[in-house]
Amino acid sequence: MPVITWDLGTILLLIMAGLTRAAILFIVAAGLTLVFGVLRVINMAHGSLYMVGAFIAASVMQQVGGAGSFWVALVVAPVAVGLIGAIVEFGVLRRIYQAEHVVQLLATYALILIFDDLVKMTWGAEYKSVSAPAALLGSISIGDRPFPIYNLFVIVWALILAAALWLMIHRTGLGRLIRAAVEDAEMLEALGVNIPRIFLAVFVIGAFLAGLGGVLVAPLGSIGLGMDVTILIEAFVVAVIGGLGSFPGALLGAGIIGMMFSFGITVAPRMAMAFVFLAMVIVLIIRPWGLFGEPER
């Protein structure tokens, strides 16, 4: 094992690498926790929507070509995944909202298998790769070490998205309805609010976020089958640490997991995921409902 020099440059680089991973995890986990917080459904297929977003982005970039292909994909792919989410909500989830959690889990797990086969039929089983846009190529110097500009873009994008989500939840009419639905959906429906429409909007937003995460992660690595399961596990860990249904919790949880993975893979590469789950176990021992979550009433 190579000796690690723990100078300031190395530490800063690991922090930025951790923030990059945290940014992707937050975007995906934010959609997962939003859906659970309002619909009270644990959507096992959330990672599949993320994977579909990455594949759609690759196809769009291939078809469009040129310098602007990434920016087109950044708009088209999340919107397309949002539309797929609308179909899933209307065709499947709307019929099982009142069912037991095990039924919901089985139904959404079945969606994982369906999406997996659809992706295989549409794009094949081969891995794909895309490049970051020309404007975001290159690197900047952090502690005399190079750090990719695209990674910095992902971090900034996640922070902007976090602010936008907070504003939507706390400063818009839809946000007020969402918060009211979390507290008492039956009372809100009695007041004449179309609850199915609210649930549809929430699920579409969650799917949009999953698709957006898929687009942003595409230039960071390979796109292929199995990426849905990997991100789903990590997003669930983030949501559990932060507290299911909590946006601030998702943000903090993503930061914790990003840092644990970044430093963990440097110190003990084979134990990197173990450090991630260790963080979850410690939080659950101290606060079983998560750092920002609330006990079920």
Q: How confident is the model at residue 270 (pLDDT cuts 50, 70, 90)?
A: confident
Residue 6 domain flag: no
- Taking 70 as the threshold, does the pLDDT of residue 9 lie above it? yes
Residue 287 domain flag: no
Mean pLDDT score of the chain: 90
Tokens 């979550």 sit on residue: 293
User: Which residues are registered as beta bridge partners of 142?
Assistant: 145
Residue 270 domain flag: no
Fill in the amino acid letter for 254: A
- Number of structural domains (the chain) is 1
Residue 61 domain flag: yes
Lowest mean pLDDT among 135-139, 141-145, 216-220, 260-264: 141-145
How far apart CA 21 and CA 38 sit, in angstroms, is 26
Residue 242 domain flag: no
Which pTM value belongs to this model?
Answer: 0.93
Q: Give the residue numbers spanning the domain of 44.
A: 26-226
**Buried residues in 163-199 as b, exposed as e (16+ CB within 10 A):** eebeeebeeeeeeebbeebbeebeebeeeeeebeebb
Residue 247 domain flag: no
Residue 296 domain flag: no
Residue 201 domain flag: yes
How far apart CA 114 and CA 111 sit, in angstroms, is 5
- Is residue 127 within 8 Å of residue 223, measured between CB atoms? yes
